[in-house]
A and B are shown apart, each in its own frame.
Chain A
Amino acid sequence: MEYIDYYKELGLDKNATPADIKKAYRKLARKYHPDLNPNDEEAHLKFQRINEANEVLSDPEKRKKYDQYGKDWEHAEAFEEARRKQGQSHNSGAAGGGYRQYTYTGGDAEDFSDFFESMFGGASGRRSRRTGGFRGQDFNAELHLDLREVYTTHKRTLTVNGKNIRLTIPAGVENGQTIKIAGHGGEGANGGPQGDLYITFVITNNTEFRREGNDLYTEADLDLYTAILGGEITVPTFDGKVKLKVKPETENGTKVKLKGKGFPVYKKEGHFGDLYLTYTVRIPKNLTEEEKKLFEELQKHRR
């Protein structure tokens, strides 16, 4: 567990007045507030840190304790204990203490650092300006899938906050796409509705196909003779191999389109993108003497 310099978090020094603290906090909160930085995890963490710094420095009691122990925070509890005992012997029964109120409100309380927890024992809930609340909290989840898995529509059961949610994942979902599952977030309060669940798909592609929207791209080897004379080859598509006619005198790098052999179109059943194949003509290696002679013959014909 590391010591956190709360003054540094807010860009202040130890002589900062309550007004300085308020001003610095407001300024940074406007910069890093999650509502103003959608999908930015770094900003969200920074916001939590400045919130924590403000929680400590804007509360005279907490600030006093923090200033007093500073880097020796690990001994704070021992000091407190010793002092309390001393105090009791002089002034029986008046040992207020009150630091370690384990009144963690949970739920939507900010995640505070271990350092904070250790020194102050959990969020006091002092920060909530408006009590009550209404709509439940939104939940965010990531679902990691393989490209092969999103080629077909399938059902999944997810466990989010202890509840099982049966989900239909439509074929053709994009990497990074977020879908909203209404009403599967946190419980509402005061008659407010439940929050929503947002699921972001993270799709890994370990196939030989590159996906661009609904289209797929891949390469196919073509032997020199088929490239020159034409013929039939077997090429891979996403759902199996197909036979393809090759025109005579096909150049290296030729691109062919296989209509409807691409990826399924999201929420349009039966619709598919296209597959683009790029031919790589392979030159024969380790020619025999006879082959060499024949190529030389051919060469003469071209001169």
Chain B
Amino acid sequence: MSQEELIAVTTFCTSHNIEVTFIRELAAYDLVEIINRDKEEFFCSSHLPEVEKMMRLYYDLEINMEGLNAVHHLLKRIDELQHEVTRLRNRLP
């Protein structure tokens, strides 16, 4: 993984004006993976959309960490089901 693909946790949190502990908590719930490098914490840029989504749900809708965990799994399931629906719809004459 190249350096460009990593987002510093502090940079992200400062930009959004949120606590660094939020990302650490997400990591504790396996919702993001924190990578330690040169005594600094990073996460992979491919996780960025998901992290931002969790941030909106947490701060804007006041959904707690346990709720985020459940939401994460349900959204994944919705995504799978939507694909299945599209596939089945395409089979209809």
A residues adjacent to B (C-beta < 8 A): 26, 29-30, 33, 35-36, 38-39, 129-135, 138, 174-177, 189-193, 196, 210-213
Given that A26-B61, A30-B63 are known contacts, is A138 also in contact with B49, CB under 8 Å in the complex?
A: yes
B27 within 8 A of A: no
Chain A min CB distance to B74 (Å): 9
B89 within 8 A of A: yes
Q: Which residues of A contact B90 (CB under 8 A)?
A: 174-176, 211-213
Whether the Cβ atoms of A33 and B15 lie closer than 8 Å is no
In the complex, residue of chain B having the shortest beta-carbon distance to the beta carbon of A200: B86
Q: How far is the CA of A175 from the CA of B57 in the complex (A)?
A: 31
B28 within 8 A of A: no
Q: Which residues of B contact A213 (CB under 8 A)?
A: 87, 90-91
Q: Which of B49-66 contact A (CB under 8 A)?
A: 49, 52-53, 56-57, 59-63
Q: Which residues of B contact A176 (CB under 8 A)?
A: 86, 89-90
Could you list some 30 contacts between A and B, CB below 8 A? A26-B61, A29-B60, A29-B61, A30-B61, A35-B56, A36-B57, A36-B75, A38-B75, A38-B78, A38-B79, A38-B82, A129-B60, A130-B17, A131-B17, A132-B16, A132-B17, A134-B11, A134-B12, A134-B15, A135-B52, A174-B86, A174-B90, A175-B89, A175-B90, A176-B89, A176-B90, A189-B15, A190-B15, A191-B11, A193-B48
Q: Which residues of A contact B89 (CB under 8 A)?
A: 175-176
Q: How far is the CA of A30 from the CA of B63 in the complex (A)?
A: 9
Whether the Cβ atoms of A193 and B62 lie closer than 8 Å is no
Chain B min CB distance to A144 (Å): 15
Whether the Cβ atoms of A192 and B61 lie closer than 8 Å is no
B71 within 8 A of A: yes
B20 within 8 A of A: no
In the complex, residue of chain A having the shortest beta-carbon distance to the beta carbon of B12: A134
Whether the Cβ atoms of B62 and A26 lie closer than 8 Å is yes
B residues adjacent to A (C-beta < 8 A): 11-12, 14-18, 45, 48-49, 52-53, 56-57, 59-63, 71, 75, 78-79, 82, 86-87, 89-91, 93
Q: How far is the CA of A29 from the CA of B87 in the complex (A)?
A: 30
Whether the Cβ atoms of A134 and B60 lie closer than 8 Å is no
Q: Which residues of A contact B91 (CB under 8 A)?
A: 212-213
Interface centre among B45, B60, B93, by most chain A C-beta atoms within 10 angstroms, is B60
Whether the Cβ atoms of A132 and B15 lie closer than 8 Å is yes
Interface centre among A26, A132, A134, A210, by most chain B C-beta atoms within 10 angstroms, is A134
In the complex, residue of chain A having the shortest beta-carbon distance to the beta carbon of B14: A190
Whether the Cβ atoms of B45 and A193 lie closer than 8 Å is yes
Q: How far is the CA of A287 from the CA of B75 in the complex (A)?
A: 64
Q: Which residues of A contact B16 (CB under 8 A)?
A: 130, 132-134
Q: How far is the CA of A193 from the CA of B18 in the complex (A)?
A: 18
Smallest CB-CB A-B distances: 7 pairs: A176-B86, A190-B15, A134-B15, A130-B17, A132-B15, A212-B91, A35-B53
Chain B min CB distance to A272 (Å): 17
Whether the Cβ atoms of A196 and B17 lie closer than 8 Å is no
In the complex, residue of chain A having the shortest beta-carbon distance to the beta carbon of B61: A30
Q: Which residues of B contact A191 (CB under 8 A)?
A: 11, 15
In the complex, residue of chain B having the shortest beta-carbon distance to the beta carbon of A192: B15
**A33-B61, A130-B59, A174-B87 are known contacts; what are 15 more A-B pairs with Cβ within 8 Å?**
A29-B61, A30-B61, A33-B57, A35-B56, A36-B71, A39-B82, A134-B16, A134-B48, A135-B52, A138-B49, A174-B90, A175-B89, A191-B11, A193-B48, A210-B93
Q: How far is the CA of A175 from the CA of B62 in the complex (A)?
A: 37
Chain B min CB distance to A39 (Å): 6
Q: Which residues of B contact A131 (CB under 8 A)?
A: 17
In the complex, residue of chain A having the shortest beta-carbon distance to the beta carbon of B13: A134
